[in-house]
Amino acid sequence: MNKGEYTLQRESEFAWRIDPTGKMRVPGVVYADESLIEGMDDKVFEQLANVASLPGIVQAAYAMPDAHWGYGFPIGGVAAFDPDEGGVVSAGGVGFDISCGVRCLRTGLTVDDIEPHKKKLADQLYKHIPVGVGSTGRIHLNDKGMQGMLRGGARWAVEQGFGNPEDLEHIEERGCMAGADPAEVSDRARKRQQDEMGTLGSGNHYLEVQRVAEIYDRNTAAAFGLQVDDVVIFIHCGSRGLGHQIGTEFLKYMVLAASQHKIELPDRELACAPINSELGQAYLGAMRAGINCALANRQIITHLTREVFADVLPKADLTLLFDVSHNTCKVEAHRVQGGERKLYVHRKGATRAFGPGHPEIPETLRAVGQPVLIGGSMGTESHVLVGTEQGADLSFHSACHGAGRAMSRHQASKQWRGRSLVDELAERGIQIRSPSMRGVAEEAPGAYKDVRAVVDAAEKAGLARKVARLEPHVCVKG
């Protein structure tokens, strides 16, 4: 199949390859079915080819089934770099919303428990959890608090009384990203964050109360503590203003230093620096502090959610299934051509998906594999998947992260009206709360791709296996 100037060779029903041409150092690999590929903008393939041309890239540049064109890297892009081969770290390859991710909480409730209280629950969650543009949290971080948060992540939040120590076991990195260097986080980034802890943000960020509608894999669902009609909560947000500012600043530093590092950028947005350089190390230190900010943020929101449930549905017991980030660069050991190497794996709009037995998975889940949390749109469905063993060879243990946009915000806001959408969804039993009706229109379910086609492709490609499908009942939208 031809997409723009690139020819895609079909490797299997769900894997496509772009052979290296021009400056590409490795092939591009896209995991998707034919109709998803046809629906992808030609820019996705151009961006994938650009990523494949970066120094020190290992094996291939990958695009997940939900790939759509982003800034520099495609969203749904995965690329690993070897520092010993001149490999780079890219601020554009992580994105502005560092460590944006999803966490899933079990509630110990069934749909019958929440049905009579849904409106109150929606109102209380909306009132209690700061959401939307200009919202600030109840916490004002002073210098010491900021320092502690940037180093400690969710562990710091738990020490401050937000949540339980048991939560930490079910967060990537046990809730605290090692190697964070607060000294590399500018005063401006700190200032953007000092009143934003425990806020959801806007755009596609949300908190949803969902029902487990279908189980695909009974044994894994049991290990995850999920049954049909259980109520769970998805929280989708990131590192807020701090991450955005770190991304903004380092993107510029990397663009300006590219020629000094003898890096030819096919697109300025791919701005990067050698891992083994002062700038590369500075970015890694700041980015890891950004990861901690996101982990702390989701931990505080979890605490606020628990407060609401304790008030509205006191018998609820909110326990953490897992917290996984989908905008990161992490150092991981992978086998490449028979040998183990430490690689810097960028996932931009892609989810880490470790298979059974991986030491990074919490002990309680290790036998089955890592939960992979896929957010859909507010009117459709979300999914829980699990990492596979073959994911190691396919995509450095990575899978999709969501449905992916099918049309721009501008198009969506012309096609739908927020108020009518909220009313239509309410008739279907989905309570939406949002400060902006235009924001709701821009996030209309019809503006997104079919998330089921995306997770089906991820499963059939072998990246992750489907465990459960979740339907929204309450959505607090940024």
Partner 1 sequence: MGLRGYGVTPKEAFEQTGLALTATVTELDSVSPDERVDVECEAPDLELLLVDWINALVYEMATRNMLFSRFAVKLDGNRLSGSAWGEPVQRQKHMPAVEAKGATYTALKVCEQENGGWMAQCVIDV
Told to check if 188 binds partner 1 by CB under 8 A, we report: yes
- 378 known member of a binding site: yes
Told to check if 437 binds partner 1 by CB under 8 A, we report: yes
Q: Please, which residue, 134 or 314, has the CB nearer to partner 1?
A: 134
Contact predicate 103/373, CB 8 Å:
yes
Would the CA dihedral through 152, 347, 322, 219 be positive or negative?
negative
Told to check if 79 binds partner 1 by CB under 8 A, we report: no
CA distances from 361 to 236, 367, 371 (A): 20, 9, 9
> Which of 9, 35, 136, 420 touches partner 1 by CB under 8 A?
136
Q: Please, which residue, 210 or 434, has the CB nearer to partner 1?
A: 434
Q: Please, which residue, 118 or 236, has the CB nearer to partner 1?
A: 236
Binding window for partner 1 (CB under 8 A); candidates: 55-63, 88-96, 295-303, 447-455 = 88-96
> Which of 59, 90, 210, 245 touches partner 1 by CB under 8 A?
245
Q: CA end-to-end span of the chain, whole Å?
A: 39
> Which of 117, 261, 366, 409 touches partner 1 by CB under 8 A?
409
- 28 known member of a binding site: no
Q: Which amino acid is at 177?
A: M
**Residues 266-295 as x/- pattern, contact with partner 1 by CB under 8 A:** -xxx-x------------------------
- 297 known member of a binding site: no
Contact predicate 236/104, CB 8 Å:
no
Told to check if 97 binds partner 1 by CB under 8 A, we report: yes
Q: Which amino acid is at 382?
A: S
- 236 known member of a binding site: yes
- 403 known member of a binding site: yes
- 287 known member of a binding site: no
What's the closest the beta carbon of residue 139 comes to partner 1, in angstroms?
A: 16
Told to check if 404 binds partner 1 by CB under 8 A, we report: no
Q: Which amino acid is at 81?
A: F
Residue 401: active-site member? yes
Told to check if 439 binds partner 1 by CB under 8 A, we report: yes
> Which of 14, 31, 45, 71 touches partner 1 by CB under 8 A?
71
Told to check if 17 binds partner 1 by CB under 8 A, we report: no
Q: Please, which residue, 95 or 285, has the CB nearer to partner 1?
A: 95
Told to check if 90 binds partner 1 by CB under 8 A, we report: no
Catalytic center residues = 401
Interface positions with partner 1 (CB under 8 A): 71-72, 92, 95-97, 132-134, 136, 188, 191-192, 201-203, 241, 244-245, 247-248, 251-252, 255-256, 267-269, 271, 408-410, 413, 435-439, 442, 478
